[in-house]
Amino acid sequence: MRRAGAELDWPALVALQPAAGLIPERLRKHTRRIDAHPGETLFRIGDPVRCVYLVIAGEARLIRRDRKGGEVILQRSRGGFIAEASLDVRAYHCDGIAAEQSMLLLFPAGEFHRALDEEPSFRKAWHAHLASEVRTLRAQCERLCLHGAAERIAHYIEAEGTDGVVTLTQSRKSWAAELGLTHEALYRALRRMQDAQTLVVDGNRLASRR
Amino acid sequence: MRRAGAELDWPALVALQPAAGLIPERLRKHTRRIDAHPGETLFRIGDPVRCVYLVIAGEARLIRRDRKGGEVILQRSRGGFIAEASLDVRAYHCDGIAAEQSMLLLFPAGEFHRALDEEPSFRKAWHAHLASEVRTLRAQCERLCLHGAAERIAHYIEAEGTDGVVTLTQSRKSWAAELGLTHEALYRALRRMQDAQTLVVDGNRLASRR
DNA sequence: CGTACTTTTGAATCGCATCAAATCTGGTGG
DNA sequence: CCACCAGATTTGATGCGATTCAAAAGTACG
């Protein structure tokens, strides 16, 4: 399940996930690889933060459970870092799981900090990454403040898609959760929008009209 | 309205707003001060990003307007940076306004970047700040995904308060907007919670029971 | 004292959540 | 290949809670 950093094939990793290319040489030496099964727990809320995680393949999620057992997705990463905001705190504030069969790279937090200090280009990339995460989250808050399923769908296509077209990378059910809706409400809203000619659905491709 | 950086009284600024203490010497020379009226626009969506803003007193907000003229608050800052995530992009993705009479410091983006490169402690503080913003926003998304006004209120007190007690720094009306509710729904939920003994309200002090 | 805004309550409506169930889908093992 | 299963997708009926529209009372400020 875990392999030493020395034997990792970095060119192949970068091909799979461009973000791996940002990792500077000195940090590569300290990298471990993990292959996780669907549903496997990566870390739990309260665990001390020892590593930074980079998703190379598959999907990792940050989740939190409410008292009723309901599950809220706080972050969903298909390629790229996950739980980046935990780098500066002692313990995780949510659970991390692999949503499907996934490959991840682990960087020791201490070495990661050292690399940030010593590699300006890596630091800039990390800055940009954090800032982009902030913008994405703000857009999501804006979306969740909209009333009405159709408005949230339209906002999602606008924000996450290109030229009014978005390709879903998840099931509609989990998309519904991301939109703060039940899956039934999402299905019905999609149908209404198609009937009203304001949306064209082709598998996982959604195109907004007007 | 605007004063040169040379004549700024930094100890006084730091007393008003601790975050000002993070600003390294070399960046202080390039700082400008702005005093903004309630409702005054600081920057508009699409404007090129030339400065980083630090709120010393009063309140600044990032807002976006939907087609119906509705206003969504993306960020609310009473002391501390605002629009931090724009440092790495060319243009603002939302409007910035002063919500009340406010004092702000402006740092030229280029000098700010240089300071980040050259001052490790400043860089660490900035990192921590961005990461903290990410965690706050994730908590807000989690909150907005809750159904039911009472649940959002309880979550807010849990996340933003200490030991089940929070002091509001805004009107209930704008708090309602932050919670993704109409103000009527918020007022009614607050009353129901008081009637049910799950909440004690004392002016702007809200204490959650159980 | 008047104006603008927030706070508060009321009544009617609408949309989403909820519960239920049928169908479809992909994947597993016989 | 087919039977089977778990999960996603889809549709239906019902009730609740939030929105909406309306209006009164309270509050801050010039």
CA dist A65 and A95 (Å) reads 9
Q: Can you tell me the mean pLDDT for A27-55? A: 93
Amino acid at position B4, single letter: A
Q: How many residues does chain B have?
A: 210
pTM score, whole prediction: 0.90
For residue B74, what pLDDT is reported? 86
- The per-residue pLDDT of chain A, averaged, comes to 90
Amino acid at position B199, single letter: L
Alpha-carbon separation of residue A173 from A32, A101, A177, A180, A185 (angstroms): 33, 19, 7, 11, 10
Q: Is A120 exposed, middle or buried (0-12, 13-18, 19+ CB in 10 A)?
A: exposed
- CA distance between the termini of chain B: 49
Comparing C-alpha atoms, which of A21, A123, A134 is closest to residue A79?
Answer: A21
At B177-190, the pLDDT tens digits run 999 999 999 999 99
C1' (C11) to CA (B69) span, angstroms: 26
DSSP E strands: which ranges in chain A? Answer: 2-3, 32-36, 41-43, 51-57, 60-65, 71-77, 80-82, 95-98, 102-108, 165-167, 199-202, 205-208
- CB distance from A184 to chain B under 8 Å? no
CA dist B84 and A131 (Å) reads 7
CA dist A204 and B67 (Å) reads 27
Q: Is A135 helix (H, G, I), strand (E, B) or coil?
A: helix
A209 phi and psi, to 5 degrees? Answer: -105, 130
C1' (D2) to CA (A172) span, angstroms: 29
At A110-162, the pLDDT tens digits run 999 999 999 999 998 999 999 999 999 999 999 999 999 999 999 999 999 99
Percentage of chain B exceeding pLDDT 90: 80
Task: Please name the member of B72, B88, B141 whose beta carbon is closest to the beta carbon of A127.
Answer: B88
Q: CA torsion sign, B40 to B44 to B45 to B48?
A: negative
Q: Is A97 exposed, middle or buried (0-12, 13-18, 19+ CB in 10 A)?
A: buried
A178 phi and psi, to 5 degrees? Answer: -65, -30
For residue B36, what pLDDT is reported? 92
Q: At what angle do helices A109-118 and A120-144 cross, to 10 degrees?
A: 110
Q: Is A55 exposed, middle or buried (0-12, 13-18, 19+ CB in 10 A)?
A: buried
At B113-139, the pLDDT tens digits run 999 999 999 998 999 999 999 999 999
Give the full edge-to-edge strand order of the sheet including A80-82. A2-3, A32-36, A102-108, A51-57, A80-82
Q: Please name the residues in contact with B113: beta carbons below 8 A apart, sequence gap of 6 or more.
A: B87
Q: Check CB contact under 8 Å for A87 and B144.
A: no
Q: Which of B:66-85 have CB within 8 Å of A?
A: 66, 72, 74-75, 84-85
**Candidate ranges A184-188, B87-91, B125-129; pick with highest mean pLDDT:** A184-188
Q: Check CB contact under 8 Å for B87 and A131.
A: yes
Give the full edge-to-edge strand order of the sheet including B102-108. B2-3, B32-36, B102-108, B51-57, B80-82
Closest C1' nucleotide to B187's CA: C8
CA dist B93 and B202 (Å) reads 38
Reported as type and span, the H/E element at residue B102 is strand B102-108
Buried b (16+ CB within 10 A) or exposed e, A135-162: bbbbbbbbbbbbeebbebbbbbbebbbe
B192 phi and psi, to 5 degrees? Answer: -60, -40
Q: CA torsion sign, B96 to A75 to A146 to B77?
A: negative
Comparing C-alpha atoms, which of B121, B132, B130 is closest to residue B22?
Answer: B121
Q: Which residue of B has its CA nearest to A123?
A: B117
CA dist B72 and B66 (Å) reads 8
- Which contacts of A120-124 are long-range, i.e. CB under 8 A and separated by 24 or more positions? A120/B117, A121/A22, A121/A24, A122/A22, A122/A23, A122/A24, A122/A27, A123/B123
Q: Check CB contact under 8 Å for B142 and A93.
A: no
In the DSSP assignment, the letter for residue A203 is T
C1' (C2) to CA (B38) span, angstroms: 21
In the DSSP assignment, the letter for residue A91 is B
At B33-78, the pLDDT tens digits run 999 998 899 999 999 999 999 999 999 999 887 666 667 788 989 9
Comparing C-alpha atoms, which of B162, B132, B161, B156 is closest to residue B142?
Answer: B156
Closest C1' nucleotide to B185's CA: D18
For chain B, which domains are there? Answer: 2-139 (2.60.120.10), 147-208 (1.10.10.10)
For the record, the structure tokens of B199 come out as: 């909440």
